[in-house]
Amino acid sequence: MNTEPADAFQSRVAKHAALADPARLRIVDLLTLGDFSPTELQAELGMPSNLLSHHLRVLEGAALATRHRSEADRRRSYIRLAPGALEGLAPGVEHGAARILFVCTRNSARSQLAAALWRQVSDIPSTSAGTHPAERIAQGAIDVARHHGVALPEVPPRKLGRIAGGDFVVTVCDNAHEELTSLGATHWSVPDPLRINTKEAFEYAFEDISHRINGLAPRLHAA
């Protein structure tokens, strides 16, 4: 009896085969939290670059991971979990957090949207900040939030200050992440909608952040 199309079955077989290796399973575990550059993965895993490259090729070939260039440094790339990669296979490891802090450069769009979306799905408090905050929240962010019925706070962007011990920090822009390399933050490499400044760009950023938040929220518990 055929329970699923042959292509879908082979895709599932490839994913299980890729995840059967302990190193690749650890890489995917990390990617469920956020995006990593190959250099960051190498440091995290203590693995030679040639061996890491092999594992990443296997994960990409099994449609478990994708990569794209950094907007800040085009010589750098980020690896992310492919959309829908782990349906039914997501790890159950939880992380405790007293607060979740979303950081981007200007604190005018992505981090504001992330904090607002987080409040809809989790009781863990959320806030946002910028490394070089703008004077006001971007109109595109306000418009896309309003379109989806999400309330943004009527406060100006704020500068990143002291990070408390119980904070779970997520950088949502490449510039902020690469500026704060010593922070050890979880990273989501979300393209800057203000670079294009179109309705579609803000919609893409909103959907990307929303998808990531829905994946992360079940894995965090109040510390």
Q: Are residues 16 and 121 in the same domain?
A: no
Q: Are residues 53 and 136 in the same domain?
A: no
What is the distance between the alpha carbons of residues 124 and 109, in angstroms, rounded to a whole number? 21
pLDDT in tens, 51-76: 999 999 999 999 999 999 999 999 99
What is the distance between the alpha carbons of residues 54 and 100, in angstroms, rounded to a whole number? 34
Q: Are residues 14 and 49 in the same domain?
A: yes
The kind and range of the H/E element at 209 are helix 199-216
Mean pLDDT of 5-21: 83
Query: For residue 136, is it within any domain?
Result: yes
Residue ending a domain, among 81, 111, 140, is: 81
Quote the number of domains for the chain.
2
Q: Are residues 164 and 213 in the same domain?
A: yes
Would you state the pLDDT for residue 206? 98
Q: Are residues 124 and 153 in the same domain?
A: yes
Would you state the pLDDT for residue 89? 59
Both tokens of 36, joined, read: 């990593």
Both tokens of 104, joined, read: 């981007």
**pLDDT band per the 50, 70, 90 thresholds, residue 3:** very low
Query: For residue 126, is it within any domain?
Result: yes
What is the distance between the alpha carbons of residues 14 and 63, in angstroms, rounded to a whole number? 9
Model pTM score:
0.78
Q: Are residues 108 and 209 in the same domain?
A: yes
Q: Are residues 56 and 130 in the same domain?
A: no
| More confident call, 17 vs 7 | 17
Q: Is 88 left (phi over 0), alpha (psi -120 to 50) or beta?
A: left
pLDDT in tens, 74-119: 999 999 999 888 775 555 556 789 999 999 999 999 999 999 999 9
Pairing of strands 95-97, 99-104: unpaired
Host domain of residue 46: 9-81
Q: Are residues 101 and 184 in the same domain?
A: yes
| More confident call, 155 vs 89 | 155
